[in-house]
Structure 1
Amino acid sequence: MAFKFESQEFKLKFDQVESLARSIIEDDTYAESIKNLANHFLTATRVFNTNLDLSDYDQYIEYSRKQPVSDFVKVVDQALKKYKNSNLESDLIYLFDISLNLINIYFSELTFILGGLSNSISLEV
């Protein structure tokens, strides 16, 4: 079963990664490369604003949401748990990498679907 962007489960996981990203950016002990990954994730929060209704994404991003490998809630939950248990830099990098890759998959599908309908995707979404 596909997850939904307009669900508490998605918004909770997304917010957890966002919170972690914000704390990393404010902490001088992290390497610049990790801060860059955190910054890239925060860029995605401009589109996936969990304070807004995200149900339009459920309508347009159907295919990738249904793929088990692209299930943000499940995949990111596993990565978050792994990082929280290990506190290893490699697991933190994996968490951001997998989150950003999934977001890229969703944006690619959105661009593909809406790109043929409108010159400006941002106006449609």
Structure 2
Amino acid sequence: MSDMFVEKFRGLVPQYLEEPWQKADGIEWADLDNVFSELQITVPLALREFLHAVGNNEEIMEAYYYFWDPEELEIEDGYLLFLEDEDEAYTWGMLADQAEVPDPIVWRRNNATGEWINEEGTFSEFVFDMLEWVFTEED
């Protein structure tokens, strides 16, 4: 398996938390494989690598919005859901039928209306942009 984004995702820990990345920050490949097999879902490479790199790091996973733990991932409305805001007003996902795309486009659902809006960026772009915004936001 190629590691397209693993090192970049691991780099989020020293970049924003000012501590070295540790193996405990991530989730083992085998554990991810077992969860996704039990859920019977295919997860795009970028999301798998994100969880492998930082899936156990609460400061990253709950930096502003809440990335779902692997066992919480679900498909709804044709989207693989992976993130929600604190008030559960919005949920983010990617088209489930594009799970073979390594780094698919992210969509946001307004939970009140059920309307989906294209975020116009891939999962990796979305994550890096969101975390930069969260950790560099002025008080």
Q: Is this a same-fold pair by TM over 0.5?
A: no
* Structure with a larger share of its residues in strand: 2
For CA contacts below 8 A with separation 6 or more, give which structure has more relative contact order.
Answer: 1
Return the TM-score normalized by structure 1: 0.33
Return the TM-score normalized by structure 2: 0.30
